[in-house]
Structure 1
Amino acid sequence: MSEISTLTIKIPLELKEKIRASALENELSLSAEVCKRLESSFQPPAKTSKKHAAVHHDEIDSQSTEEEIEQPLSQKELKKLRQLLKDGVKSSKKK
């Protein structure tokens, strides 16, 4: 089973709606539709087939199709991270 990764991209709303409409028509999730289209863009035109695309999309979890927005680190979190990195460098120099 291949690993699945999350990818957040910015696209025009009009394009997203076209993809969503195509996904509904093909009875796929938004993610599966995008994956199918990306995969087909790397295949020579003669080798693209629905059977090939369907095999990979069975493995994709389509339960959550909403985009996740990651919040930036707060100043307190950044300060703590810098301190941890600084402490890590100090301890590796002692060895």
Structure 2
Amino acid sequence: MVLHTLNQAPANAACMASALAAMTAQDTLLLIEDGVYWTLPTFASQLANIPGSVVALAPDLQARGLTSDAIESVDDAGFVALCVSHDKVVSWF
């Protein structure tokens, strides 16, 4: 199991495409920093077909004035728990 962290906004769709190409059904995609903009309704439909699960970092959502009912969010302790529960972490930036 791999935890993929993505900090790029939708303007860098190539970065998201690369992350998705590397994911398997057992992996998790964690949206951090400007990556949380992928949770906006305009882009959220692209997250529907992702293999594995998608999570957003709550403090980054809050810092940008965003909320997301469709995607689970985790706090900083949840971020650490995801890192510990996965075999490795791959950062996409």
TM-score range, shorter chain: under 0.3
Structure showing the higher strand proportion among its residues? 2
Q: Which has the larger radius of gyration?
A: 1
Structure showing the higher helix proportion among its residues? 1
Structure 1 length-normalised TM = 0.24
Higher relative contact order (CA 8 A, sep 6+): 2
